Amino acid sequence: MRNHFKVLFSDKNRRLTLLLLALAIIAITIGLIIGISDNPPGIIILYAGIILLIISLVYIWRKIRPFLILLVVSIVGIPVFAVLHNIFYGIAELTSEVKVLPEMLSFFDAMSFLIALIICPSAIIVGMGGALILFVKRKKSEANISF
């Protein structure tokens, strides 16, 4: 993991990494300012920002396998975090008499919900896109070699 971040912030990649991070932060901020409650433009801008954030962390990958792993983990993550959302909500309702526990569980409930509905679908898009781009590049290079 440490080597991954060393490569992301090496002299060669630092500008692009920081640019992608800045664009992600700007898009997420604009999406939240516009509002995401029943507001398609705000939701689309928020998703674009999350996608840019994920891309800023994975654009240095040069093999298809990590993108496919990201894709599978994200697909599995949606139902897992949706179930966790419901579990945390149910436990918070059952323990409403305890002082701190319901607030903590409500936080985990909200985070699970956001991961299931915003982060996992964005990671699916990045995983599919990255795998597709690298697959096409590989096929193109194989076609150029065969001539």
Helix or strand or coil: residue 143?
helix
Domain carrying residue 43:
1-60
- The share of the chain scoring above pLDDT 90, in percent, equals 76
> What is the reported pLDDT for 116?
96
Record the tokens describing residue 55, joined without a space: 């891309």
Q: Do residue 142 and residue 93 come from a single domain?
A: yes
**Tens digits of per-residue pLDDT, 66-111?**
999 999 999 999 999 999 999 999 999 998 888 888 899 999 999 9
Residue that is last in its domain, among 60, 79, 100: 60
SS (H, E, C) 38-83: CCHHHHHHHHHHHHHHHHHHHCCCCCHHHHHHHHHHHHHHHHHHHH
Three-state secondary-structure class, residue 90: helix
HSE of 134, CA atoms in CB hemisphere, 13 A: 17
Q: For residue 4, what pLDDT is reported? A: 87
